[in-house]
Amino acid sequence: MSSWLDLPADQVDEAAKLLLNWRLTANGVTVRITEVEAYSGLGEDPASHAHRGMTNRNAVMFGPAGRLYVYQIYGMHFCANVVCGETGRAAAVLLRAGEVVDGLELARQRRPAARRDTDLAGGPGKLMQVLALNTAANDSPLMDGSGPATLHPPTEPDKTEQIESGPRVGVSSAHDVPWRFWVSGDPTVSTYRRHTPRRRPPLASR
C-alpha cells in the first residue's frame, strides 16, 4: 500500500485513512492517532483554510508534505494538521483524537480535567494539550526527528477494514462531506457534534 506521503493532494481522503494508527511524539508524550479529518484546497473544498488561496496563515498547507500546520481556534485551543500532497497544491489532515500510549502520567498532568484516560486526547485541542504543542510548532518537519514533534509508523499492520467515515465536525461549509475517519470501536474517538451556526442576538426594540 502507498504511503500517505506519496499520495497527491486530490487523494487527501486516502492519505487521512493511512495516517490512522500512526504515532505522534512530542514533549515526552506519544499519541496513537485514532481520528482524523481530510481537507483539500483551492475551490475543491469550501471548508478548507486554503479555499480562497494562499495566505500567510495557510502557506504551509501548500507543501511540502510531512510538515505540521498548527492554528489556533476560539483564542485558546490549538489544532494540529499533517500536510499532504504535492508541493503547490493545498491539502492537510486534521488530527482529531488519539490514545496516549507513552508518557501517560505527564499527559494526566497536562489534562487534569480528564475523567478517563480515554479522554486525554479525545479532541483536537485536547490532543495538543497532552503533547504541549502550540503555534510555535507550525511549519516544522514531522518525519526526520528535527522538529518539536515526530510521526512514527504504526506498530501493527494496517487494518483498513476497521476504518469508519462520517461528516466533518465544526465547519460551516461542506460539513456533510464524509471525510472524517476513525478507528472503528476505539474509545478515544471524539463525540460527533454537527455544526450549529451561531445566531445573532435580536435587535433591541426601540
Closest by CA position to 128, among listed 84, 97, 170, 158: 97
pLDDT of amino acid 74: 80
Residue range 71-96: mean pLDDT, rounded: 93
pTM assigned to the model = 0.88
Of 174 and 61, the one with more pLDDT: 61
| pLDDT tens readout for residues 107-134 | 999 999 999 999 999 999 999 999 999 9
Q: Is the peptide bond before 64 cis (omega within 30 degrees of 0)?
A: yes
Neighbours of 20 (CB within 10 A): 24
Alpha helices by DSSP H, listed for the chain, are 12-19, 104-110, 124-131
pLDDT digit string (tens) for 180-206?
999 999 999 987 766 555 555 554 533
Q: What structural domains does the chain harbor? A: 4-183 (3.10.300.10)
Please, are residues 17 and 35 in contact by the beta-carbon 8 Å criterion?
Answer: no
Q: How many residues belong to the chain?
A: 206
